[in-house]
Chains A and B, each alone.
Chain A
């Protein structure tokens, strides 16, 4: 993840924004790994993101931990193998995280650092998520479990 994040964050730059590789990894891991592992992975990815971004330290760790908890609570009821539900799910999650981070940053620093590029970034993320999804499924050969009806 570190390599991809390093490579794409500086190598890919569209409208002066790059894809959020950390979020893509966290999102994917939460659907395809065990709950404890994915939660731990999300937390440490959050710590890494806190080092990388300039938001107050702990913001990403908290956001990713919460996201992991929520996804792990409902993931067996969510369809993610099909293209459209996956995209919708990813987009909603990404925007939720963006708004949560803006809100938390506002609480911590009393400055409303809203940037319109943050609204565009999830769309860029979708493209990269699809690419990574194919790659991860190929590398990890994971299959998802759903609730048995």
Chain B
């Protein structure tokens, strides 16, 4: 009777355990155990099976060494990935420089490349600071251009020069104005602290899409440097009141600039 009870207890226990295994679904863990055991023992039977037991120590050691190597390699992989990202950035920069150097040959002006080191966060279209100054040959009133969308565009003029850095007044600054030409017109461009300029006092015809360049009539900049494109024209019966909007650079794209070695008032100073 007691044995019967114990037998039934055992049966219930084993039934409970089996069902627990089934419900808990521990197969992933079991698979890992299977893989580990089969790696250690090599379950296929052969005459040399007994010799395989000698390899268990070696296999455990190699397993641990593999894990350690794996950790090392993962770390190395992370470092290499970080360095690769750096290399990719350098490659991109290098390509940009190459492109700029190619284009520089076409500019026809001597000058110096410089990096933007600071902008005005409150009025980004007013001034920028560049990392070249008097010691690098930068002079007051030198025009500053930048290479955007595969062409050189005018962005401003040196307004203050220090030993190692300079301040550039942007053409979008409202205190700045200069004469510019489009295909069939000439007028005065003034800034309004945004990425567009006002084209006023227009002499001639303007139409949407016309490109605007620095003028031969201007003493401020050398001629034929691209400024932007006409995006809006406000017609008026009185021709003197016609004005247009000229879309120019986006300040976020300005990183590397080229300071042209051009001093507009040089001849005048000599005359004086």
Question: In the complex the two chains form, what is the Cα distance from A61 to B21 in whole Å?
Answer: 9
Question: In the complex the two chains form, what is the Cα distance from A35 to B43 in whole Å?
Answer: 32
Structural contact, A35 and B3, CB atoms closer than 8 A: yes
Question: In the complex the two chains form, what is the Cα distance from A7 to B45 in whole Å?
Answer: 6
Chain B hits for A7, CB < 8 A: 45
Chain B CB within 10 Å, residue with most, of A9, A56, A57: A57
Chain A: interface residue count, which band?
A: 20 to 34
Least Cβ distance of A72 to chain B in Å? 7
- Between A and B, 29 residue pairs with Cβ closer than 8 Å are A6-B43, A6-B45, A35-B3, A39-B11, A39-B14, A40-B10, A43-B14, A43-B18, A46-B18, A50-B21, A51-B33, A51-B34, A56-B22, A56-B25, A57-B21, A57-B25, A58-B17, A58-B18, A58-B19, A58-B22, A59-B22, A61-B14, A61-B17, A62-B19, A62-B22, A65-B18, A69-B11, A72-B7, A104-B22
Structural contact, A43 and B43, CB atoms closer than 8 A: no
Chain B: interface residue count, which band?
A: 20 to 34
Least Cβ distance of A64 to chain B in Å? 9
Within 8 A of A (CB), among B173-210: none
Question: In the complex the two chains form, what is the Cα distance from A65 to B8 in whole Å?
Answer: 11
Closest to B46 in A: A10
Chain A hits for B6, CB < 8 A: 36
Contact with A along B22-36 (1 / 0, CB 8 A): 100111001001100
Question: In the complex the two chains form, what is the Cα distance from A11 to B21 in whole Å?
Answer: 31
Chain A CB within 10 Å, residue with most, of B11, B17, B25, B43: B11
Least Cβ distance of A52 to chain B in Å? 9
B270 within 8 Å of A (CB atoms): no
Chain A CB within 10 Å, residue with most, of B19, B20, B21: B21
B residues engaging A (CB < 8 A)? Answer: 3, 6-7, 10-11, 14-15, 17-22, 25-27, 30, 33-34, 37, 43-45
Question: In the complex the two chains form, what is the Cα distance from A36 to B12 in whole Å?
Answer: 12
Chain A CB within 10 Å, residue with most, of B18, B25, B43: B18
Least Cβ distance of A115 to chain B in Å? 20
Chain A hits for B14, CB < 8 A: 39-40, 43, 61, 65
Structural contact, B11 and A108, CB atoms closer than 8 A: no
Question: In the complex the two chains form, what is the Cα distance from A68 to B166 in whole Å?
Answer: 94
Question: In the complex the two chains form, what is the Cα distance from A104 to B21 in whole Å?
Answer: 13
Partner of A62, one of B18, B37, B43: B18
Least Cβ distance of B163 to chain A in Å? 78
Within 8 A of B (CB), among A1-32: 6-7, 9-11
Structural contact, B17 and A56, CB atoms closer than 8 A: no
Chain A hits for B3, CB < 8 A: 35-36
Q: Known contacts A10-B44, A50-B21; is A65 also within 8 Å of B15 by CB? A: yes
Question: In the complex the two chains form, what is the Cα distance from A6 to B30 in whole Å?
Answer: 19
Chain A hits for B18, CB < 8 A: 43, 46, 58, 61-62, 65
Least Cβ distance of A86 to chain B in Å? 24
Closest to B4 in A: A35
